[in-house]
Each structure stands twice: as C-alpha cells, then as structure tokens.
Chains A and B, each alone.
Chain A
Amino acid sequence: MMTIDLILFLILAVVAIATALGMLVSRNAVYSALFLVLNFATVAVFYLLLGAPFIALTQVTVYAGAIMVLFLFVIMLLGTDELPERKVLNWQKPMAIFLALVLMAEGVYLIFIQKSASGLINNAPGADFGSPQAIGDMLFNKYLLPFEVTSILLLVAMVGAIVLTGNMKGGQS
C-alpha cells in the first residue's frame, strides 16, 4: 500500500540523487553549484517532512543562500569554471567507482539485511517539536557552552579568511 508519504519521499529521493549525480558529472563548475543548490533545497523539504521546520529554513538561508553564493562568487572570481581534463593517474577513476560500489554494498548489507536502524518516521509530531521555540530553549540551556564555542569558531574563521586573502600591506608578501 503506497501512502502519500511514501510517494512524496520517493519523488524527492529521485530528485536528490539526480541532482547529486548532476553535480558530480557536470563539466562546468557553475552548473555543479546550481545542481547542489537544488539538492540542498530538496533536503530542506525532507527536513520539513521530518518535523524540523527551523532546521529546514536554516538549511535554505545558510546552505542554499550564503554558502552557495560564496561558492558561485569564488568560481566566477577565479574564472575556473572549466578545467582542461588531464589524466595523471589513469587507474584512479575506475578504482574510485569500484570502491564506491563496495561501500554501497556494505551500506545495503547493514541497512537492509542486518536492519541496524528500525522504526517508523513520526509524521505527525507534536506542534512544539522542532519549532524555533523548542530549539532555542535547548540551545540556550542544555547546549549553551557548545553554542558559545561555535561563536568563537565563527570569529576565528572570519579572521582566518581575511588573513589568508588579504594583501598583507607592510608585512611580508
């Protein structure tokens, strides 16, 4: 019996995998970035289905918005959207595909045969589950220290990015 949930999941899963593969095979880096934006949007819809509206919108604003715009900006700044194909290690591509298939076989074995994860998705969670209020309550009580550490991490990343790309006037090149 195909429920509407399952049909929705299958359609979105096909879109997610197709866009991921599109990112993998595109010759042009701009197309790759745009495929990845679509993939992140699809995953945001999955978050909505899983009862995580706050995380879904964070995904759209931070990943699909900020991070991918940064990627597109750097691709266009460097003008390296297409690299000439040069073969240095000929055996690398078949080896990578073979190892990916081995990893896939292990995953199928663990997930579908050993059944290491079980249970049904609760598709009607309480109205409070995953709401900004519930997330904020947890973030500022139970996870206050990691939250503050993250703010320091973001500051360090900002300083690092400026130092790495700055012109270093007055210092050594």
Chain B
Amino acid sequence: MVPVTYYVALSAVLFIIGAMGVLVRRNALIIFMSVELMLNAANLAFVAFASVNNILDGQIFVFFIIAVAAAEVAVGLALIVAIFRTKKSIDVDQINMLKG
C-alpha cells in the first residue's frame, strides 16, 4: 500500500518543474509544453484522491480537464503559428510590441 502523500508529493514536484519551465525557457512552444505538464500534475492529484476516497467524481474531473487541455492546445498552437507568421520568431522576449 502506497500512502496518498507520495502521490501528492510527486504531483507537486511535477507541477514545480512545469512552473519552472514557464519561467526559465524562452521558446513559446516549450512554455506551452510546461503548461501541459502542470495540468497533468493536477490530474495525477485528482486521480490519487479519487482512489483514496473511493469516489469516482475525481476521475470525471480529469476527463473534463483532458478535454479542455485539448481545446486549449488547438487554440494556443494556432496563436503561436499566427505570431510566427507576423514576427518570424516564437521567442517570447521578442514579442514586446505592447511595451511603451
């Protein structure tokens, strides 16, 4: 038997790695992948708690989160392609047109 604490700790570690990826990397695509990693970490915590409490609602939540992530990826990648067409770069430091 594995304590649920271990799963929550693993989920926290994956979330922190994702957050660090968003802050450290400058490639918009890798920042986006890090966001996916953070969503995945949240899903892992949901499923772990669903299992420990023997309630299925957590798994339904994960199902919805996966659907929303798929929609988010479609729109986000379309935005990145549109930005690349105008700026010829997806380095987030280059996208500073709103800077005064």
Contacts and interface: CB of A to CB of B under 8 A. Distances in A.
A154 B67 contact: yes
B1 A39 contact: no
Interface string B9-32: 110111011111101111101101
Contacts of A70: 73-74, 77
B16 A107 contact: yes
A86 B14 contact: no
B71 to A, nearest CB: 4
A36 B79 CA distance: 21
Binding site secondary structure of chain A:
helix
**Residue of A83, A107, A108, A139 with most chain B CB atoms under a 10 A cut-off:** A83
Interface of A: 3, 5-6, 9, 13, 16-17, 20-21, 23-24, 29, 32-33, 36, 39-40, 43, 46-47, 50-52, 54-55, 58-59, 62-63, 66-67, 70-71, 74-75, 77-78, 80, 83, 86, 88-89, 92-93, 95-97, 99-100, 103-104, 107-108, 111-112, 115, 117-123, 125, 129-130, 134-135, 138-139, 142-143, 146, 150, 153-154, 156-158, 160-161, 164-165
28 contacts: A9-B2, A16-B14, A20-B13, A23-B30, A24-B34, A32-B29, A47-B44, A55-B59, A58-B66, A59-B43, A59-B66, A71-B29, A71-B73, A80-B90, A107-B9, A112-B9, A118-B3, A120-B3, A123-B2, A134-B56, A135-B60, A154-B67, A157-B72, A160-B74, A161-B75, A164-B75, A164-B81, A165-B78
10 smallest A-B Cβ distances: which pairs? A157-B71, A96-B23, A164-B78, A161-B78, A107-B12, A50-B51, A119-B52, A120-B1, A20-B17, A100-B20
